Amino acid sequence: MPHLLSIISDQAVPNLHFIKQFQQPGCFYLFVTTQEMENKKVTQNLIEALQLDLKHCRKILIDANDASLIQRQLEQFNFSKEAEYLINLTGGNKLMSQMVYQHFQAYTSSMYYAPIGSASYQQLFPDVKQLPKNPEVNISLAEYLEAYGFMIESSLDYFEGTPKPEILMKKLLQEGHPSRVPVISRATQQEYKDEDKNYLMGTWFELYCYKVFRDAFELANTQIACNVKIRRKDSTSPYEHDNEFDLMFIFQNDLYVMECKVFPTENLKIEKVSTPMFKLASLTKNFGLKCKKYLAILGGITQVPQARTQLENLQITLGIEKILEMEDFKNYSGRELLSINLHQKLDALLEKFNQK
């Protein structure tokens, strides 16, 4: 059986995918790691996410910044000369990957590198060639989050209330604003106490987006969740304050996170829109480099030019991919909803640059 060797870093997805693609029953897992990564429990999180047998896992602790010391540490581990090694060079810093590459040329090994977002592995040793990533290897939402040290505490199963989400959306787009849909408007009144109040005030929109993107990206139920409450695995509380996301899903091993908000008031002030934007940026900072953040809003966002410019600048600063508004849901469907107008994005970046 081959030995799979991974270099540990803050980015968990490359190693997560590598192990899922190349693992075989009974193989061993080797993790080249540093004290910094161990203090963050990065290796442990990866092992737990993949549910690997601890008896088949070994850690090799090295110094990340001293080549001669790394060389000695690798030599002292006494790797078996009879074993076959499949090595992922993608993680760690350049020095770590270079020293691992140099060390394992003396072994029966195949070494691979795959930039984030790449559709294939670049084999660097013994021959230089490409190996396509297996499209059937899919990372579940739970695996992704657990690899970054989080657990799903709870989520909302899809259901259709009355009226159904798609019917509410149709009425809203016809009327042009949530406040003009009587059933939504009534639910926002303080005296309205019926059990469907939360559903009518916004849960329906989360469920609508859930179904739209589940169907558009052909996602398995393990790859998408609605109204997701998460907590750090080492947290003692049920879930950490405000670690709740309206919609999360995995597509092509990237994490998509979306806040879905329904605002019944006209001419929303910038503060109303910026609050969920700051929340998205803050709570997703530990989800890896390829976490894509979106904000979907049903309501009248102000059209005052100065406020819109401020909003666009904030979107760029916080790394929000796109703000979906009512016009987007009216004019687009499925995957088109998440497509980004590159010309608008470039114009916004140039405008921000020229203001400096």
pLDDT average, residue stretch 148-160: 93
Give residue 234's pLDDT: 86
Q: Are 139 and 250 in contact (CB under 8 A)?
A: yes
First to last CA, the chain: 58
Give the H or E element holding residue 315: helix 305-318
Give residue 116's pLDDT: 78
3-class DSSP state of 207: helix
Confidence check: pLDDT of 307 > 90: no
Confidence check: pLDDT of 226 > 80: yes
Confidence check: pLDDT of 181 > 80: yes
pLDDT category at 206 given cuts 50, 70, 90 is: very high
CATH topology of domain 3-132: Rossmann fold (3.40.50)
Tokens of 296: 């979907």
The boundaries of every CATH 3.40.50.10770 domain in the chain are 3-132
pLDDT average, residue stretch 261-272: 87
pLDDT average, residue stretch 91-104: 97
Distance CA 158, CA 156 (A): 6
Q: Which residue type sits at 292?
A: K
Closest CA relative to residue 48, chosen from 207, 214, 233:
233
Distances (CA, A) of 147 to 76, 92, 158, 203, 232: 29, 16, 25, 28, 11
CATH topology of domain 141-354: Trna Endonuclease; Chain: A, domain 1 (3.40.1350)
Which position has the token pair 């929109």? Answer: 205
Which position has the token pair 């059986």? Answer: 1
Give residue 340's pLDDT: 72
Which position has the token pair 């230089």? Answer: 128
The boundaries of every CATH 3.40.1350.10 domain in the chain are 141-354
Torsional sign, CA 271, 272, 275, 281: negative
